[in-house]
Amino acid sequence: MKPKLRVAVFVSGSGSNLEALIRAERAGRLKAEIVLVVCDNPDAYAIVRANKFEKSVFLCEPKTFGSREDFEKALVEVLKKEKIGLVVLAGFMRILTPYFVNVYRGRILNIHPSLLPAFPGAHAIRDAFQHGAKVTGITVHFVTEHLDGGPIILQRSVEIGPYETLEGLEAKLHKIEHKLYPEAIRLFAKDRLSIRNRKVTIER
């Protein structure tokens, strides 16, 4: 019997996606095991959520390292020790270097609150709202050296109503994130994702 995929979730902030993923795991929907939570921020509420569910936390502050590469080498050492097969970015507010991407190429997922390639970057929800977009959404994609530019796995759209508030839009998008991310991880865990010519195919 094939062993369960071992997952590390990278966080920096509140950890709402982390909790959604843990709940999906407990419900049997993830088809993978979250064995490690990696956090670069000692004040992140995500640590509280991880502790609540008795998940191991590796706190690794970048300022304690001489360079970004030294920081990432420490991450890789821990991930290899834990036999991590998939890295899941869930509100991790650092851009990974080509070094880290190369080590885990094809095994790093990210979730982004827009329909990429529209509105990349850290303020996608606000940018779409202020732009006056009629539709936005959620994208789960593989991570590459290009910011928010990796092959797209899943997308879901959301209409922005004429009387929508930014807070209301954020709440709607978070609900979709909490459903879409577990689905993408499940597809990866069941070996149903393949990349050809920078396009993702979902195998039946």
Active-site position among 112, 141, 146, 178: 112
Q: Give me the phi and psi of 132, to 5 degrees please.
A: 85, 25
Q: What is the DSSP string of the chain?
A: -PPPEEEEEEESS--HHHHHHHHHHHTT-SSEEEEEEEES-TT-HHHHHHHHTT--EEE--GGGSSSHHHHHHHHHHHHHHTT--EEEESS--SPPPHHHHHHTTTSEEEEESS-TTSS-STTHHHHHHHHT-SEEEEEEEE--SSTT-SPEEEEEEEE--TT--HHHHHHHHHHHHHHHHHHHHHHHHTT-EEEETTEEEE--
Strands 32-39 and 5-11: parallel
- Judge contact between 42 and 63, C-beta under 8 A: no
112 is catalytic: yes
- Judge contact between 139 and 110, C-beta under 8 A: no
Q: Which residues are catalytic?
A: 112
